[in-house]
Structure 1
């Protein structure tokens, strides 16, 4: 019987002692665990969803092997929702709930846990400054690939990179190495968050940014903390909450302004302008854009902040994105200037820019000129898997058709 969707899931105690179940736990095989709940507790996907707080559609994806769990908080929810006893929790890589007697009569499992921890600590102890540099380079390369190809093309590489850094950071003992790993973890989780925003997975994005913020605090990196906190504001914008996004961005700027570089302050001001534009607050938007222009340093970028792309051309693109909402006649020239200055590696950003340019040309009554940009935007959005852009492109395509008929 499936039972009520809100009934607790009770899996018989003997199931956790089966060799097959122990292997599932050791491998953190979420699909295997959900299948155990179905087989031995008669739990439906809806019931598992209610117990774990994971959307039913994602439960189905996990069971079919289409989605992987990487966040510790999600593993914890699964363990709690399925009622894992302490020895099963430990095999699953989680702390026992009964710390006074974590293993009961399961001495073998306790020893296995101790052996596994010892192995993880020994592996983490081999991470030195050279290894940190390699991991940092790998994240930078993933960032470059993401700009060109989008998240879908590098999804497996991103999961592997996140898992490797998280594992090394969790078991690193030396403070210096641990702080360096925390910095890389913050940057990588932030990249994962931006990828999730562009695919429309806003809950995943929010969780990635929470992980990124925690890592940035552990690294004692005010600039990275400010950046990942501000990127999280885009989740609020896409949720239709630009007022909260604006409030968050203003708070971050006020709190961190004396401890972060001018280029990052430029980026924060531009992000605030975008949130204000979505709100329809033209005065605040223009003030923030003027502030961003005044703060922008010379040069293309800062090697200490590879995650940050903001120069005169990027700012022109941002200005056009904001002011197109207010019918500013100078928007087309801003956007054409930005397009001319792009280096050809920012395919997803170019898709957004061409959307803005198409929008601006439509507003000027030039649908034929707009059509070419919108078609190119559509090609780039498809290539990079940006569902965020495709929604807007669909609206512009309909607007062009109406204008041409």
Structure 2
């Protein structure tokens, strides 16, 4: 019997004794677990969704191997939803529910858990050189993301986060654990921005929560401020610009004097953008003026590899904000920014071309806007940016209307 969507899923106890099931548990094979639930409990995807709290679309992707689970909390929900007994939970790497008798009659499983944990701790015994390699890998992924977009490196990003989290989760030496937390925060924030670009906003929020937690463990105010500031973009894209502006203002108040100049500039410009989306021109212009005043000399700060900001980038940001208010100076800001682009920031160029097209349409020049829309569309397609693709579609419709 399949039962209704809200009935508990209960597999026969014998299922968890099978060698096949034990191997699925050891490998944390979520697709395999769901397949067992379908086979032995007649569970549908709807029922699996109700039992685990995972969206049905995500269930489908997990069963097809298109997504992976990395969060311990999600494994807990799956274990609870499928009614795993304690010995099966422990093979999955989770704590038993019966603390007084964690293994019941399954001493072998207890020993296997002990051996597995020992192996994981030994595997995580990395040194500072290995941490530096992981950090370099994250920075290389950041450079690839700028050129190719998130779709091209999605598998590498998931593997990188999994590797760092596994090492961090089982690291013993406090100094190494702190360094791993730093790398994890940077990597999760990068993954969060990629998720924003693909309009996967729940994933984006979750990645930023991981980045914020890791930044707190690393005791790095710059990383913490950056992750919080970037998370505000999730709120803005959710249609909550007032809360995005409030979060950025709070972040600036809390960390502005504790972080380097380039990040202070970035936070001010981000606040201006959120205020522009909100339609608050006064706050927007004030924040832009503050960003201009705060911008240090030089293109980059080596301590902030995740922040790329110079005069040309700030001009692009200013144009992006003021185009919403029909400012006649917007065109010059945007053209100046376009001149200063070095050809490696494809996502940024796509956004800049959209802003230029927007400004030209506002000035009644749809023919001049078309080449920028064409170039933006090519870039957005190349990097797989759904966020820019949506805006390009809106502007293209406006350009068509303007030429009629």
* Interval of TM-score (by shorter of Structure 1 and Structure 2): over 0.9
Aligned partners of 1:345, 1:99: CA distance in 2, in Å?
54
Q: CA deviation at 1:42?
A: 1.3
TM (normalized to structure 2)?
Answer: 0.98
1:306 corresponds to 2:335: no
CA distance in 2, matches of 1:148, 1:96: 46
Aligned counterpart, 1:17: 17
1:374 aligns with 2:342: no
Are 2:153 and 1:165 aligned?
no
Secondary structure at 2:124 match in 1: helix
Measure how far apart 1:99 and its partner are. Answer: 2.3
* Distance in structure 2 (CA, Å) of the matches to 1:93 and 1:374: 50
Q: Which residue is 2:155 aligned to?
A: 156
- CA–CA distance in structure 1, aligned partners of residues 99 and 255 of structure 2: 39
SS in 1 for 2:54: coil
Residue 84 of structure 1 corresponds to 84
Q: Matched residue of 1:141: which SS? A: helix
Map of 1:131 onto structure 2 = 130
- Looking at structure 2, the residues matched to 81 and 289 of structure 1 have their Cα atoms a distance apart, in angstroms, of 49
Residue 63 of structure 1 corresponds to: 63
Does structure 1 residue 51 correspond to structure 2 residue 51? yes
**Aligned-partner Cα distance in 2 for 1:2–1:234:** 42
TM-score, L = length of structure 1: 0.98
Counterpart Cα distance in 2 of 1:313 and 1:184: 28
- Structure 1 CA distance for aligned equivalents of residues 176 and 24 of structure 2: 32
Hey, which bits of structure 1, 4+ residues long, moved more than 4 A?
Answer: none
Equivalent position of 1:116 in the other structure: 116
Residues 240-292 of structure 1, C-alpha deviations (whole Å, 9 max, x = no match): 01111111111111111221112111111111111111111100110111111
Determine the C-alpha separation between the residues in 2 that align with 1:100 and 1:259: 47
SS class of match (1:68)? coil
C-alpha distance after superposition, 1:290-312 (max 9, x if no partner): 11111111100111110111111
1:4-403 aligned at under 5 Å gives the runs 4-125=4-125, 127-403=126-402
The answer to which of 359-368 and 74-83 deviates more is 74-83
Tell me the C-alpha RMSD between the 2 structures: 1.0
Separation of aligned partners in 2, 1:161 and 1:302: 24
Q: Deviations over 1:90-140 (max 9, x none)?
A: 211222222222211111111111111111111111x11111111100000
User: Structure 1: which 5+ residue stretches go unaligned?
Assistant: none
Deviations for 1:321-378, whole angstroms, at most 9, x for unmatched residues?
1110000101111111111111111101110110011100111111111100011000
Q: Could you tell me how far apart the structure 1 residues matched to 2:196 and 2:10 are?
A: 36
Q: Report the alpha carbon displacement of residue 50 of structure 1 after superposing the two structures with TM.
A: 1.3
Equivalent position SS for 1:93: coil
Q: Matched residues in 2 for 1:288 and 1:68: separation?
A: 40
* Matches of 2:385 and 2:305, distance apart in 1: 22
Report the Cα offset of residue 18 of structure 1.
Answer: 1.1
Q: Secondary structure in 2 aligned to 1:370?
A: helix
Deviation (angstroms), 1:7: 1.6
For residues 33 and 161 of structure 1, the distance between their equivalents in structure 2, rounded to whole angstroms, comes to 24
Secondary structure of the 1:225 match is: helix
SS at match of 2:87: helix
Superposed CA deviations along residues 48-95 of structure 1, whole A, max 9, x for unmatched, are 111111111111111111112222222222122222222212211222
Q: How many residues align?
A: 404
SS at match of 2:225: helix
Greater Cα offset, 1-10 or 250-259: 1-10
> Structure 1: how far apart are the matches of 2:273 and 2:235?
12
Q: Which runs of 5+ in 2 are unaligned?
A: none
